[in-house]
Homo-oligomer: A and B are copies of this chain.
Amino acid sequence: MAIREPEIIRNKEQMRNWTRSMRAQGKTIGLVPTMGYLHQGHLSLIAEARKHAQLIVVSIYVNPGQFSANEDLSTYPSDFQGDIEKLQSTPDGVDVVFNPYNLYDYGEERERSGGKKREKDEGVVSCLEDERGGGFGHETWIRVEGLEKGMCGKSRPVFFRGVATVVAKLFNIIEPDVAVFGKKDYQQWRIIQRMVRDLDFAVKVIGCEMIRDKDGLAMSSRNVYLSPQEREQALSISRSLLEAKKGGRNICSELRRSVIESIKAAGGKIDYVEIVDQESLEAINDEEITSGGGGGIVICVAAWFGKVRLIDNMEIDVL
């Protein structure tokens, strides 16, 4: 298989011009947004995107807007050269890697600001919710007000605001026909779907099944920070979720308790375990399940092993 070099684009205008010239030739464009440090899970998203679009753009951008000040922005793993090599050896490769330096730098625009003297912003986006944005820096945020509140939104209050906003920016810059997201980040996927519907983006959002390592651990760029012992402990998540799916019991409170207990017993610290409706992400109570209300539920988990926070989930279609 021939190795295909992706074109690397770092500039917004160039990126949009590329899409527009391809679209003018009748091509369709698929986007796979990533924060880099690619693994098999990302490559499966690319393979999925290939089914829906003729040309593939992979964005590699660690978005400061979705990290709180106390989170792991500065230590988020990166290996750009390794990423490019992985992309080259992917079947059919990818067409463009969009790797901007800073998506929140509006330098030129700020120069135009009426001449009133003030210190220049540094193009640094604030991660925290300011009392008042003010000035000339980035201050526009997209909120998906219901879906963003539960689960990861509780422990990471600015996370989904940052994700929705950067995805909207990427959509507006890259103008893809299709964008593929992993269902490992279940809440994120549902939030992006909702945002696209509510804001009428002309993008088809596709959710892609998560990829697990052979031992069952959900693939994540953050797994690299687990010690061998922590990794072994972390398998309690996938094991307990599989158990819940196989068990055939559909009493939410029991399912939830057994997942929590398994993870705790293995040495994990629970952030949350919740059983929710697959689309609205509203908590499901036992009566709804046992009354045959139907539809799908999903068990979502976030837990700490040492300094690493892992998430995982399992969809269960109940009668």
A201 at the interface (CB under 8 A from B): yes
Contact segment of A36-44, A75-83, A140-148, A300-308: A140-148
A132-B146, A140-B198 are contacts. A277–B114 as well, Cβ < 8 Å? Answer: yes
Q: How far is the CA of A102 from the CA of B125 in the complex (A)?
A: 35
Is B145 a contact partner of A142 (Cβ separation < 8 A)?
Answer: no
* A199 contacts across to B, CB distance below 8 A: 140, 142, 165, 168-169, 172
Contact segment of A91-99, A254-262, A291-299: A291-299
A52 at the interface (CB under 8 A from B): no
* Distance to closest chain B CB from A289 (angstroms): 10
* A194 contacts across to B, CB distance below 8 A: 139-140
Is B135 a contact partner of A280 (Cβ separation < 8 A)?
Answer: yes
* A200 contacts across to B, CB distance below 8 A: 12, 103, 169, 172-173
Is A145 a contact partner of B140 (Cβ separation < 8 A)?
Answer: yes
Is B117 a contact partner of A294 (Cβ separation < 8 A)?
Answer: yes
* Distance to closest chain B CB from A284 (angstroms): 8
Q: How far is the CA of A24 from the CA of B133 in the complex (A)?
A: 40
* A116 contacts across to B, CB distance below 8 A: 277, 279-280, 288, 293-295
Most buried by B among A140, A165, A173, A293: A140
**Partner of A140 from B104, B142, B279 at Cβ < 8 Å:** B142
* A201 contacts across to B, CB distance below 8 A: 172
A142-B141, A143-B140 are contacts. A149–B132 as well, Cβ < 8 Å? Answer: yes
Interface string of A194-212 (1 = CB under 8 A from B): 1101111110000000000
Q: 25 pairs across A/B with beta carbons < 8 Å? A: A106-B198, A113-B279, A114-B277, A114-B294, A114-B296, A115-B296, A116-B280, A116-B288, A116-B294, A116-B295, A117-B294, A117-B295, A132-B149, A135-B282, A138-B198, A139-B144, A139-B194, A139-B198, A140-B195, A142-B142, A142-B143, A165-B199, A169-B198, A169-B199, A169-B200
Q: A115-B295, A132-B149 are in contact. List 20 more A-B contacts (CB 8 A).
A: A103-B200, A104-B198, A106-B197, A114-B277, A115-B296, A116-B288, A116-B294, A117-B293, A117-B294, A133-B146, A133-B147, A134-B282, A136-B280, A139-B147, A139-B194, A140-B143, A140-B198, A168-B199, A169-B199, A172-B200
**6 closest cross-chain pairs (CB), A and B:** A133-B146, A140-B198, A114-B295, A116-B295, A115-B295, A172-B200
